């Protein structure tokens, strides 16, 4: 379909917008509840339930990343962790009938406001240049320039991404640094822009903790708990990520071990900078329009 023929009032875009409206409210309400001594699990469950109350569904488990953590951290079943004087990133997603919105915010309790500001200002600079025909490498250059200006590093092996139908991460990738061969955004593209700034080296690695999974290959399994979990996954979450604590079978950890060993599900280890470093994040979802872009999660 030619750009001029893209109907930005079509049902799918209205559902992206509705997901964004819900998500904007939930992000602000959730961030307001974060404080020293508050439970991680309480915050995650509040946000996920609030999404449902407002008419959406969580697109993935609420990510609560602390200090050097950048992504894929979510509370375990009966998690007793509480917030300290830390840098906290909340990454939250909503879908309406599989059409998604994705957003993130840093709540700084660590006393490092400039690091949080760096990712926020980088996001604003990126949004300012988005229009039909812009190269994603140029968006990355804007992000990198702002974060460098604060004296920090962008996390270069994490990127923004497209949002598809029942797909949380799809093309195109939106780099957090300048690249020479990007792709061109077109009218109707729905993408999440998410700068990460760090006082570390700018590359994250996989940790050992894993609480988020998604369906990889649907196949028969013999274990009862694994069968029960798989039935819930395929019906409720489809291809979207889910948390161990979301599973309703009586032994969810066992079920996931069996499903992972059989290649049915894929796990997402926590991604983190070096110990002692801090990471901030800010993210919005945008729709590329004829005259620029529309921020659905503002």
**Can you read off the two tokens belonging to residue 25?**
């409210």
The active-site residue out of 161, 189, 228, 294 is 161
The active-site residue out of 57, 67, 91, 108 is 91
- Active site annotation includes 145: no
Q: Which of 29, 91, 76 is nearest to 279 (CA)?
A: 91
- Active site annotation includes 40: no
**Can you read off the two tokens belonging to residue 294?**
């529309």
Give the C-alpha distances (Å, rounded to integers) separating 67 from 47, 125, 156: 21, 24, 17
**Can you read off the two tokens belonging to residue 38?**
């508050």
In contact, 222 and 262? CB cutoff 8 Å:
no
The active-site residue out of 68, 102, 144, 273 is 102
Give 101: exposed, middle or buried? Use CB within 10 Å, 0-12, 13-18, 19+. Answer: buried
DSSP 283: B
Give the C-alpha distances (Å, rounded to integers) separating 297 from 58, 243, 293: 14, 23, 12
The active-site residue out of 114, 167, 169, 186 is 169
Q: How far apart are CA 214 and CA 239, in angstroms?
A: 6
- Active site annotation includes 86: no
- Active site annotation includes 7: no
Helix (H) or strand (E) holding 87: strand 87-96
The active-site residue out of 142, 228, 283, 294 is 283
Q: How far apart are CA 159 and CA 179, in angstroms?
A: 12
Q: Sheet holding 99-108: strands in order across? A: 57-66, 87-96, 99-108
DSSP 75: P
- Active site annotation includes 290: no
- Active site annotation includes 283: yes
Q: How far apart are CA 278 and CA 263, in angstroms?
A: 34
DSSP 246: G
Q: How far apart are CA 160 and CA 283, in angstroms?
A: 8
What totals of helices (H) and strands (E) does the chain contain, helices first? 6, 15
The active-site residue out of 194, 211, 228, 273 is 194
Catalytic residues, by residue number, are 91, 102, 161, 169, 194, 283
């Amino acid at each position: 379909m030619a750009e001029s023929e893209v109907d930005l009032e079509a049902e799918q875009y209205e559902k992206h917008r509705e997901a964004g409206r819900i998500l904007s409210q939930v992000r602000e309400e959730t961030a307001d509840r974060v404080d020293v001594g508050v439970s991680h699990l309480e915050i995650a469950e509040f946000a996920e339930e609030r999404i449902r109350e407002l008419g959406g569904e969580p697109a993935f488990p609420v990510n609560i990343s602390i200090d050097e953590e950048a992504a894929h951290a979510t509370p375990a079943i009966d998690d007793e962790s509480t917030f300290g004087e830390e840098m906290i990133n909340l990454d939250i997603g909503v879908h309406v009938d599989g059409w998604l919105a994705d957003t993130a915010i840093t709540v700084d309790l660590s006393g490092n406001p400039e690091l949080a500001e760096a990712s926020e200002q980088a996001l604003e600079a990126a949004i300012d240049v988005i229009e039909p025909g812009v190269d994603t490498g140029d968006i990355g250059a804007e992000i990198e320039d702002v974060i460098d200006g604060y004296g920090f590093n962008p996390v270069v092996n994490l990127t923004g991404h497209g949002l598809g139908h029942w797909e949380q991460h799809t093309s195109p990738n939106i780099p957090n640094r300048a690249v020479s061969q990007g792709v061109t955004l077109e009218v109707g593209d729905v993408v999440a822009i998410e700068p990460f700034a760090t006082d570390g080296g700018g590359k994250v690695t996989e940790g050992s903790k894993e609480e988020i999974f998604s369906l990889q290959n649907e196949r028969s399994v013999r274990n009862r708990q694994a069968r029960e979990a798989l039935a819930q996954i395929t019906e409720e979450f489809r291809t979207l990520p889910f948390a161990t604590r979301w599973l309703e079978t009586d032994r969810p950890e066992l079920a996931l071990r069996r499903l992972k060993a059989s290649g049915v599900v894929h796990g997402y280890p926590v991604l983190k900078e070096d110990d002692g470093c801090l990471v901030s994040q800010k993210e919005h979802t945008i729709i590329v329009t004829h005259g620029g872009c529309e921020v659905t999660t503002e």
